[in-house]
Amino acid sequence: MKTPEELKYAKTHEWVRFISDTEVEVGLSDFAQDQLGDLVFVNLPDVDAEAVEGEAICDVESVKAVSDVNAPVSGTVTEVNEALLDAPETINSDPYGAWLFRLANVTDTENLLDAEAYIKFCEEEAH
Amino acid sequence: MGSYVPSTAKQREEMLKAAGFSSADELYRDVPEDLKFKGELKLPAGKSELEVDRIIRALAAKNKEYLSIFRGAGAYNHYIPAIVGSVVNKEEFVTAYTPYQAEISQGVLQSIFEYQTMICELTGMDVANASVYDGCVAAAEAISMCRSPKKRKVYVSAGIHPDTMKVINTYCGTAGDEIVVLPLKDGKTDFSAVDGEGAVCLYLQQPNFYGVIEDAEEAGKIAHEKGLTYILSMDPFAMCLLPSPAEYGADIAVGEGQPLGMPLSFGGPYLGFMACKEKQMRKLPGRIVGETVDTEGRRAFVLTLQAREQHIRREKASSNICSNEAHCALTASVYLSAMGPEGMKEAARQCYAKAHYLAAELEKAGLKRCYEADFFNEFVTACDDPEALVKKLDEKGILGGLPVEGGILWCATEANTKDEIDTLVKEVCA
Amino acid sequence: MKTLFERSVTGRHCTILPACDVPECTPEITRKSEMRLPELSETDISRHYTELAKQTFGVNDGFYPLGSCTMKYNPKINETAAALPGFKNIHPTQDHVQGCLELLHTAEEYLCEITGMDAMTFQPAAGAHGEMTGLLLIKRYHELKGNTQRNKIIVPDSAHGTNPASSAMCGFTVINIPSAPDGCVDLDKLREACGEDTAGLMLTNPNTLGIFDKNISEITKIVHEAGGLCYYDGANLNAVMGIVRPGDMGFDCIHLNLHKSFSTPHGGGGPGSGPVGCKAFLEPYLPGERIVEKDGEYALDPRGAESIGAVRGFHGNFLVVVKAFTYLLTLGREGVPEVAKNAVLNANYLKHLLETTYDVTNKGICMHEFVITMEEMKKINGVSAMDIAKALQDYGIHPPTMYFPLNVHEALMVEPTETETKETLDEVAKIFLELHAKALEDPEYLHSAPHHSAITRPDEVTAARKPVLRFPFND
């Protein structure tokens, strides 16, 4: 399982890449994609939607399940990765390249974990 | 007397004993005693098959079958080829469950895939679902597809079937939509009230309830100018002669599929069909069958895009539909296969020609059409006393048109012969 | 197998219609695009569908223990009845329909007696449609009392997916409550969930684990005392009809699945019929028209402004009601409880034959169905509920309901129904036990099952990622 050092993580298994102090890119961690299995579709949020930390913002579908994606931080959606609509499998094959959406005016970042803490958290959750 | 329980009394005893029960009553020991139903149900005693057959036949005999039918109004009398009944009554198709187990359900899955394809061909759309309950519910579900959190206004033509209007009111009313009814002018929908502000869609029926051919292309242009989704409901035969929903510019095509091989049946089971453009594919409710391959690379069909549905999405699903009208969809497929493209076009031409012949003859008999606009296979004529005229025809074994405000709504299909029409007109004059 | 479109040959056709016998004419604007409907002879059509029928597994093909679906035998006299021209050729708006109305009126009477309700509508076309209708009655009740703040419906976690979906469609917020360890409603959790905002509770009893909830009177009392109403999902009525009535358990409205408990066929997914029954105080809100009888004459009587309106056109799936009514005539007052008792007996007998080998979640008695969990086996050697289900196909058995209810992992939900013989149950049990042994000794064989079906397991991931939803016609 890969957990890049330069990223931050939420306990709900989203990764966060800081583009600037107030802008981020969000995707699903390797651990998350592995648990979810083969993803077949992504319901992306609307641009301009308000993300609230800890609340569902969009969802991903596998054949027999749908799982919420939570906003790891608060902010405003500025862009969504429409390429995923045609190639949801990218989330499985390249989880850290497959960003879902970008947020601006980011706040509520204090609950994010660094890679080391996130790996520990995943280990605990597996037991 | 009958219960279709095959176990003998002796076997039941053996089974009870084996499972550790001393009596059949013990099976319900979890049911509190005070709740149990005491005494006998107020139902007649059970009966043998012959007795049941007699009772049912006696009931059916109390209904009147007409020699000829000149009424549509949402339920149409078309000829049903013999092959249709022969195929759809095959026990496997009748008694199978929803094809969740693809490996042993390829037959029913493929039949739905073929049905979806044929609905796409009729409507000119990209994707169709495996059916909903009827045309009214198809309309309501189509409007639900357009729902947006910020815009709640829905334009609906006053010319749609009154039952559809009621069902839309029930479904959309409870969802909090604001329904704006567009009035009719000379029998056609007047679109001048469509300003698009805060609205999501426009719903039109072609031909409308009064048989009139609407300016459906114009409606599409107006809808799209105002940024609305254009939902067009169309009779499946009208689609074969008039422009298709896609040619009219529809984004979602729906309708009542009963004319495609289903008998009148006092109103059901019928078939709600729904089709849309690819961009709305994932908003389409209900089951959808897709083609894929099995582990050996052979063609296989499966229920797909299931994560949209209630059994997975639960309270977040946009529709609750589970059971649909799959057997009616099969009926429509067999019907369309038997008719073929030429047969469907010919039937549509005959519907049109016979309705126009009927209108011309009725006019000679003094029943003038109420609206100038052209019609497909239904039209309204003025009539001083519709109820009396319909009663007079009834006595001759003819089901006349439906009395509506201002006159009578008549219908002719390919099933009506010239002789029947001439007889009808003679009786009108008598 | 070829599709209809691949069998099509340009110019081939069936001769169905005579030439037009009135002057021909055409509308001003006509269709331009071609319709690529198949061009076939009657032989082609007949053979095509005979082939498809061979690849379709119906109740007539074998044991069909789909939990919560009640796949009982579909009696032939029911089909004969529904095919009578005196029902089939009747226009929904015509006069002289005394036979249709008498049938609907009497069916309403019988089904109300069986369920302890006062009135019923046949307009809903399926179970989920019935749920929506029943919830709209509840909504209307609260609205008319001015209690619009009552906007929450309580649903246990073992409920069918349609329950929360229907609630949401009616504009309610769903409150999911977890079941107690025994699978029944957790009374404390229910009490916590009930309050000023409770519109009602939706419940299936017996529940989806096949357990009759003994506390049912207490449950409906808690909801009523909080000001809510109680909705009975009739999916599992087959276990208790004629034994205990939803009306006596304290339910205010219900839906029935005529295509489950009352033997009408499923048709590969529908049509069904989901009549909704209610207590007298909700009757004015029912959709559609009332059927009234006076001196042996029947008439349709429109309901007033309090009605929720209509949920479907005309009078519902009438021919399905004809089939269910025919079945009720056959059963009669003694047949109804006999069905229930034998459904429960068959389930308990099969459970008894399996429970020493399989992990059955029902420790005591079960009602019409029981649930097996494959969780342990999956941990040991990877054989899942899916693997067992697929392997059963090779023995001519339709798999049980898989992965439901959601509160049991690796679930297989088995409902044999009363129309199966002891011989079948014995045979089926033998096969289940054989598969269990096979699973321990050769898990790979089960992973790759089925081995004798028309296809092996389909690639559902590709089907969903790259949807092909219509024949492509090489365009």
**What secondary structure does DSSP assign to C314-375, as a single string?**
TTSSHHHHHHHHHHHHHHHHHHHHHHHHHHHHHHHHHHHHHTTTS-BS--S--SS-EEEE-H
Chain A residue closest in CA terms to B313: A66
> Between chains, do C467 and B281 touch, taking CB under 8 Å as contact?
yes
In sequence order, which residues have a C-beta less than 8 Å from that of residue C54 and are 6 or more positions away? B92, B107
Question: Which of B148, B308, B309 has the highest number of chain A CBs within 10 A, making it the mutation to test binding with A?
Answer: B308
For chain A, how are helix, strand and coil distributed in percent, rounded to 5? 20, 35, 40
CB atoms within 10 A of CB B411: 25
Strand order in the sheet with A24-28: A50-51, A74-80, A101-107, A24-28, A14-18, A8-9, A113-114
Tokens of C386: 């899916």
Percent of chain C scored above 90 by pLDDT?
95
How confident is residue C183, by pLDDT bands cut at 50, 70 and 90? confident
Chain A contacts of B306, Cβ < 8 Å?
63-64
Residue A64 inside a domain? The answer is yes
Chain C residue closest in CA terms to B24: C341
Q: How far is CA C175 from the centre of its chain?
A: 23
- Domain spans of chain B? 68-80+341-429, 82-334
Burial class (CB in 10 A: 0-12, 13-18, 19+), A48: exposed
- Chain A, chain B: beta-carbon pairs less than 8 Å apart: 17
Q: What 3-state DSSP class applies to B376?
A: coil
C466 min Cα distance to partner chain A (Å): 8
Burial class (CB in 10 A: 0-12, 13-18, 19+), A104: middle
Chain A contacts of C461, Cβ < 8 Å?
38, 40, 63
Class assignment of domain C76-331? Answer: alpha beta
How far apart CA B62 and CA B75 sit, in angstroms, is 21
Question: Which of A36, A55, A63 has the highest number of chain B CBs within 10 A, making it the mutation to test binding with B?
Answer: A63
Query: By the 8 A CB rule, do A27 and A15 touch?
Result: yes
Look at residue A113 and tell me whether its pLDDT is greater than 90: yes
How far apart CA C287 and CA B163 sit, in angstroms, is 12
How far apart CA B343 and CA C40 sit, in angstroms, is 11
A66 touches chain B (CB under 8 A): yes
How far apart CA B178 and CA B169 sit, in angstroms, is 9
Tokens of C259: 């295509």
* The pLDDT value given to residue B1: 63
Q: What are phi and psi of B415, to 5 degrees?
A: -75, -15
Tokens of A96: 């850290």
DSSP label of B375 = B
Look at residue C313 and tell me whether its pLDDT is greater than 80: yes
DSSP label of C399 = P
> Between chains, do B4 and C75 touch, taking CB under 8 Å as contact?
yes
Chain C residue closest in CA terms to B355: C22
Residue A32 inside a domain? The answer is yes
> Between chains, do A40 and B307 touch, taking CB under 8 Å as contact?
yes
Query: Is the domain covering B68-80+341-429 a CATH 3.90.1150.10 domain?
Result: yes
DSSP C451-475: SSSSS--B-HHHHHHS---S--TT-
> Between chains, do C57 and B105 touch, taking CB under 8 Å as contact?
yes
What average pLDDT does the segment C159-186 reach? 91
How far apart CA C225 and CA C230 sit, in angstroms, is 11
Chain C residue closest in CA terms to A90: C465
The whole-model pTM stands at 0.97
Torsion of CA A104, A108, A109, A112, to 10 degrees: -130
Tokens of B278: 């690819």
User: Shortest CB distance from B313 goes to which of A62, A63, A66?
Assistant: A66
Comparing CA positions, the residue from C140, A49, A76 lying closest to residue B149 is: A49
Chain A contacts of B318, Cβ < 8 Å?
none
C380 min Cα distance to partner chain B (Å): 25
Query: By the 8 A CB rule, do C443 and C383 touch?
Result: yes
* The pLDDT value given to residue B315: 85
- Chain B, chain C: beta-carbon pairs less than 8 Å apart: 676
How far apart CA A3 and CA A17 sit, in angstroms, is 12
> Between chains, do A40 and C465 touch, taking CB under 8 Å as contact?
yes
Residue A65 inside a domain? The answer is yes
How far apart CA C139 and CA C151 sit, in angstroms, is 8
Tokens of C372: 């097996």
β-strand partners of A18: A24
B399, containing H or E segment:
strand B398-399
Class assignment of domain B82-334? Answer: alpha beta
Q: For chain A, state the CA radius of gyration.
A: 13
Tokens of C31: 């269709």
Question: Is the previous residue joined to B207 through a cis bond, with omega within 30 degrees of 0?
Answer: yes
Query: What does the pLDDT look like over C69-116, one tens digit per residue?
Result: 999 999 999 999 999 999 999 999 999 999 999 999 999 999 999 999
CB atoms within 10 A of CB C39: 21
> Between chains, do B313 and A65 touch, taking CB under 8 Å as contact?
no
Chain B contacts of C471, Cβ < 8 Å?
113-114, 117
Query: By the 8 A CB rule, do A91 and A28 touch?
Result: yes
* The pLDDT value given to residue A126: 73
* The pLDDT value given to residue B312: 83
User: Shortest CB distance from C342 goes to which of B5, B63, B135?
Assistant: B5
Query: By the 8 A CB rule, do C161 and B314 touch?
Result: yes
Query: By the 8 A CB rule, do C5 and B305 touch?
Result: no
Chain A contacts of C464, Cβ < 8 Å?
40-41, 61, 63
CB atoms within 10 A of CB B190: 14
In sequence order, which residues have a C-beta less than 8 Å from that of residue B194 and are 6 or more positions away? B155, B182, B202, B222, B223, B226, B228
In angstroms, the Cα distances linking B417 to B67, B367, B371, C22, C275 are 12, 20, 25, 8, 39
Which homologous superfamily is C334-451 in?
A: Aspartate Aminotransferase, domain 1 (3.90.1150.10)
Helix axes C318-354, C422-441, angle to 10 degrees: 60
Chain A contacts of B282, Cβ < 8 Å?
41
Strand order in the sheet with B402-404: B378-381, B407-411, B402-404
User: Shortest CB distance from B35 goes to which of C249, C269, C328?
Assistant: C249
Percent of chain C scored above 70 by pLDDT?
100
A48 touches chain B (CB under 8 A): no
Chain A residue closest in CA terms to C403: A64
Q: What angle do CA B407, B411, B415 make, to 5 degrees?
A: 155
Q: What angle do CA A55, A58, A64 make, to 5 degrees?
A: 115
> Between chains, do C464 and A40 touch, taking CB under 8 Å as contact?
yes
* Ranges of CATH 3.90.1150.10 domains, chain C: 334-451
Comparing CA positions, the residue from C233, C68, C66 lying closest to residue C155 is: C233
Chain C contacts of B169, Cβ < 8 Å?
309
Token pair 């039952």: residue: B163
Could you tell me where the DSSP H helices lie in C179-317?
187-193, 216-225, 246-249
* The pLDDT value given to residue C363: 86
Look at residue A114 and tell me whether its pLDDT is greater than 80: yes
What average pLDDT does the segment C441-456 reach? 96
Tokens of B281: 């594919």
Chain C contacts of A41, Cβ < 8 Å?
464-465
B110 min Cα distance to partner chain A (Å): 20
Chain C contacts of A61, Cβ < 8 Å?
464
* The pLDDT value given to residue C67: 94
Q: How far is CA A22 from the centre of its chain?
A: 17
* The pLDDT value given to residue C18: 98
Query: By the 8 A CB rule, do B309 and B287 touch?
Result: yes
Tokens of A89: 């499998």
Query: By the 8 A CB rule, do C279 and C327 touch?
Result: no
Residue A20 inside a domain? The answer is yes
Residue A121 inside a domain? The answer is no
Chain A residue closest in CA terms to C464: A40
DSSP label of C15 = -
A47 touches chain B (CB under 8 A): no
In sequence order, which residues have a C-beta less than 8 Å from that of residue C465 and are 6 or more positions away? A40, A41, A88, A89
> Averaged in consecutive runs of 10 residues, what is the pLDDT profile of chain B (430 residues)?
89 97 94 95 97 98 97 98 98 97 97 98 98 98 92 96 97 93 97 93 98 98 97 98 98 98 98 97 96 97 91 86 96 98 98 98 96 97 96 97 95 98 94
Query: By the 8 A CB rule, do B114 and C131 touch?
Result: no
Chain C contacts of B320, Cβ < 8 Å?
128-129, 131-132, 162, 165-166, 168-169
Residue A3 inside a domain? The answer is no
Q: What 3-state DSSP class applies to C265?
A: coil
What mean pLDDT is reported for chain C? 96
How far apart CA B235 and CA C363 sit, in angstroms, is 55
Look at residue C303 and tell me whether its pLDDT is greater than 90: yes
Q: How many domains does chain A have?
A: 1
Chain C contacts of A63, Cβ < 8 Å?
460-461, 464
